[in-house]
């Protein structure tokens, strides 16, 4: 079985590349910490595959989160502290998985790469 993780980023916030990279890292780490150890170990053994994808709005992130959770995949929404570029509390990204790649593709397969 193949495993991967998806991180989905909002583009409407117009974050700089550095800010975006930090938000992606937060989403990856936090969602990995929520995922069961056995799944994480298998994912890491395969190279810890990740994809970074984009959506335009917070509403889209929330819909993806709900879809993933309905099929039992761990998720994390990342909200910014507001110390630099964007207002405090802005939801910037969504981490999904790691999880079975086929199941993840059912949720994110139609999204474009960031």
pLDDT of residue 98: 98
Q: Which sequence spans correspond to the domains of the chain?
A: 3-113
Q: Taking a C-beta distance cutoff of 8 angstroms, is the pair 8, 94 a contact? A: yes
For residue 5, give the 3-state DSSP assignment.
Answer: strand
Q: Which runs of consecutive H residues, i.e. helices, occur in the chain?
A: 17-34, 37-45, 58-70, 101-108
pLDDT-based confidence at residue 63 (cuts at 50, 70, 90): very high
pLDDT of residue 83: 85
Q: Is 106 exposed, middle or buried (0-12, 13-18, 19+ CB in 10 A)?
A: middle
**Whole-number Å distance between alpha carbons of 24 and 18:** 10
Domain 3-113: give its CATH code.
3.40.1490.10
> Which range (10-14, 24-28, 66-70, 83-87) has the least confidence?
83-87
pLDDT of residue 50: 98
pLDDT at 10 over 90: yes
């Amino acid at each position: 079985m193949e495993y991967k993780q998806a991180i989905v980023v909002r583009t409407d916030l117009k974050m700089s590349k550095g800010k975006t990279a930090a938000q992606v890292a937060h989403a990856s780490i936090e969602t990995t910490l929520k995922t069961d150890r056995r799944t994480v170990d298998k994912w890491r053994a395969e190279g810890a595959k990740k994809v970074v994808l984009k959506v335009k709005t917070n509403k889209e992130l929330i819909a993806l989160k709900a879809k993933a959770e309905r099929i039992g995949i761990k998720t994390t929404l990342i909200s910014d502290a507001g110390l630099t570029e964007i207002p405090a509390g802005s939801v910037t990204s969504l981490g999904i998985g790691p999880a079975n790649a086929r199941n993840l593709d059912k949720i994110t397969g139609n999204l474009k790469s960031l």
